Amino acid sequence: MTTIRPAQASDLQAISALDQRETGVAKPDYWREMLAPDRHFLVAETEQGSLAGFIAGEIRAWEFGQPAAGWVFAIQIDPELRLKSIGSALFDALVARFKAKGVTRVRTLVERKDHLILSFFRAQGMVAGPSLQLDMDLS
């Protein structure tokens, strides 16, 4: 069984380490900023008290002209603890917090070649949203 609770400063090292293991990039400052009071940063903790995963998000209104929505910025689960519905539990907990703040829409951005995470969000019931993301190479 895992417990879901808000992230604390004492979790940052484990969060940053898990993220770095999975993405290959260390970004401790980014994770520290996620602890800001207007952000929703949750961790799943194992019975032994170690980090099983985390999710981070925020409610933002009028980004790109669109009314308030809960944004999911990041989700990461320890690969050895996957397929135990920890990701779904974290997602549900974040959505519950968004709903409690009166938001009726949840949104995220996913690398389109990352079929694993795309499948995860699809399985939660997410579908293509109203926006298309556009990029331009400036190099």
- 77, burial (CB in 10 Å: exposed 0-12, middle 13-18, buried 19+): buried
Strand partners, 113: none
The interface with other proteins within residues 92-121 (CB under 8 A) comprises 112-113, 115, 118-119, 121
- Do 14 and 41 touch, CB atoms closer than 8 A? no
Which of 25, 128, 136, 138: binder of other proteins (CB under 8 A)? 128
Q: Examine residue 85 and tell whether it contacts other proteins (CB under 8 A).
A: no
CB of 78 vs other proteins, minimal distance in Å: 20
- 44, burial (CB in 10 Å: exposed 0-12, middle 13-18, buried 19+): buried
CB of 44 vs other proteins, minimal distance in Å: 21
Q: Reading across the β-sheet that carries 69-77, which strands appear in turn?
A: 3-6, 39-45, 51-60, 69-77, 106-108
**69-77 vs 106-108, strand pairing mode:** parallel
Which residue, 34 or 89, is less far from other proteins as judged by CB? Answer: 89
**Residues in binding contact with other proteins, number by CB under 8 A:** 10
Which residue, 37 or 125, is less far from other proteins as judged by CB? Answer: 125
Which residue, 9 or 127, is less far from other proteins as judged by CB? Answer: 127
Give the 3-state secondary structure percentages of the chain, helix then strand then coil, rounded to 5.
35, 25, 40
CB of 82 vs other proteins, minimal distance in Å: 13
Contacts with other proteins, residue ranges (CB under 8 A): 112-113, 115, 118-119, 121-123, 125, 128
